[in-house]
Amino acid sequence: MASIYLDHNSTTPVAPEVVEAMLPYFSGEFGNASSIHSFGQRARAAVERARESVAALVGARPAEIVFSSGGTESDNLAIFGIVGADSRARKHVVTTQIEHHAVLNACQALERQGVEVTYVPVSRAGVVDAQDVRRALRPETVLISVMHANNELGTVQPVEEIGRIAAEADVYFHTDAVQSAGKLPLAVERLGADLLALSAHKLRGPKGVGALYVRKGTRLRPLFYGGHHERDRRPGTENVAGIVGLGRAAELAVANLAADAARIAALRDRLEAELVARVPHARINGAGAVRTPNTTNIVFPFVEGEALVIALDLKGVACSTGAACSAGAVEPSHVLTAIGLPADEARASLRFSLGHETSPADVEAAIGIIPGVVEHLRELSPLYQKAAR
C-alpha cells in the first residue's frame, strides 16, 4: 500500500545497475568460482573484481575482504573469530549497550561460554564516550566492538578515538559499519579498525550477502568448517551473483556518496524540522549528536508506535519503530532505553530513514500526511486526553 518508502535502514531497493550486473551470474555465467575450467575462471574473476570494489569502499586491500551472508554473519565471524583464535586466550570483550542484536546476542552467547563482556552505556544523545570504553579495558580484554553508526538513531560513534585506544592497549577493534557503509566515508586505517562488517542490502545491493574486512595478519577462527574458500575463513561455495551485486553496489556507493549525503541530509533535516514544528510534543531522539545523513528518530508522545506505523502505511508512508529486526517484540527498543527514554516514549518513537531514491516530493508528501495521522491516533488516546486537559 505504502508508496513513500522511508525505511532504508531496514533495507534498500536494489539499484538497477546492481540487478543488471548480477543477472548473467544466474544464467550463462553460472560457474562455480572454485572450478578450474573456463566457466569457473569467469566466476572467479567476477568474485575477485567485486572484492576489489568492496576493498576500495573501505580503503582496504582486496585480500583483506571476506565475503559472507550479510551483516549478521560478518559481526559473528568477527566476534567469535577473534575470541576463538586469540593466542593469549584473553576472555573479556568490551562493547556498547546500543549495538545491533547481531553483536549483542553474539556477546551474550560468548558470556554463556565463560567470556566476560562489558556493555558500556551511552549518552542521552546516543553516543558512547571513548574514554568510558578505555576505562572498561582490562588486562584480559581481547576485543572492542563498537558500531560506526547506530541503526535506530543514526548516531555516529567516536570510532577513530576508540581505534586509537584499542591499538594502544593491544586489543582488537571491530566496528559494525552496516549502517555507515555507503552513507559515510569509510577508511579502515583512519578508523583504526582491525575488523569491519558491512551488508549489501543496506547499500542498494541484494539481501543475503555481506563482507568482513579483516586486517592483514589477524588470526580468525572460522564460524564453520568446509572447503578452503575465502582463505579458509568462510568455507562454502561463493554466492557469485550476490557478491557481484555487492561489488557493483560498493562502486555506486563510492561514486554517489558525497552528492547523496548532502542531498539526503537536506531532505532529512526538512522532514524532521517540519514534523517537530507541526506535531505538538514531538522531539528528536539523538539530537545533538553527529548522525548519518539519512536517519531521524522522533518520539511522538501519547501514541503507540506500532499503531502509528500501521496507520501511516495505510496512508502511504513506510517507516519503522526502532530496529526492524525486533519489530513485533513487545519490549521497547534497547537503544532508546539506553539513551534514557522511558518505556512509553520508546514505544512512541518512529524511525524515518531516507535513501538514494527519496525525492523532495516524497518528503513533502510525508510532511503532509504524518501530523494528521498522529493527531488522529492521539484523539483516540485516553493518555493524551488526560495530558491535554
> Residue 277 or residue 325: which is nearer to ligand PLP going by CB?
325
To the query of whether residue 325 is one of the catalytic residues in this protein, the response is: yes
> Residue 53 or residue 180: which is nearer to ligand PLP going by CB?
180
> Residue 96 or residue 179: which is nearer to ligand PLP going by CB?
179
CB of 353 to ligand PLP, least distance (A): 10
CB of 172 to ligand PLP, least distance (A): 18
From 310, 325, 329, 380, the catalytic residue: 325
Name the residues that contact ligand PLP, by CB under 6 A: 70-72, 75, 100, 102, 147, 151, 176, 178-179, 199, 201, 210, 325
Q: What is the 3-state secondary structure (H, E, C) of the chain?
A: CCCEECECCCCCCCCHHHHHHHHHHHCCCCCCCCCCCHHHHHHHHHHHHHHHHHHHHHCCCHHHEEEECCHHHHHHHHHHHHHHHCCCCCCEEEEECCCCHHHHHHHHHHHHCCCEEEEECCCCCCCCCHHHHHHHCCCCEEEEECCCECCCCCEECCHHHHHHHHHHHCCEEEEECCCCECCECCCHHHHCCCEEEEEHHHCCCCCCCEEEEECCCCCCCCCCCCCCHHHHCCCCCCCHHHHHHHHHHHHHHHHHHHHHHHHHHHHHHHHHHHHHHHCCCCEEECCCCCECCCEEEEECCCCCHHHHHHHHHHCCEECECCCHHHCCCCCCCHHHHHCCCCHHHHHCEEEEECCCCCCHHHHHHHHHHHHHHHHHHHHCCHHHHHHHC
CB of 10 to ligand PLP, least distance (A): 7
CB of 161 to ligand PLP, least distance (A): 20
* Position with the least CB separation from ligand PLP: 71
CB of 83 to ligand PLP, least distance (A): 18
CB of 201 to ligand PLP, least distance (A): 6
> Residue 209 or residue 279: which is nearer to ligand PLP going by CB?
209
Chain-centroid distance, C-alpha 269: 21
> Residue 146 or residue 311: which is nearer to ligand PLP going by CB?
146
> Residue 212 or residue 303: which is nearer to ligand PLP going by CB?
212
Return the active site residues: 325
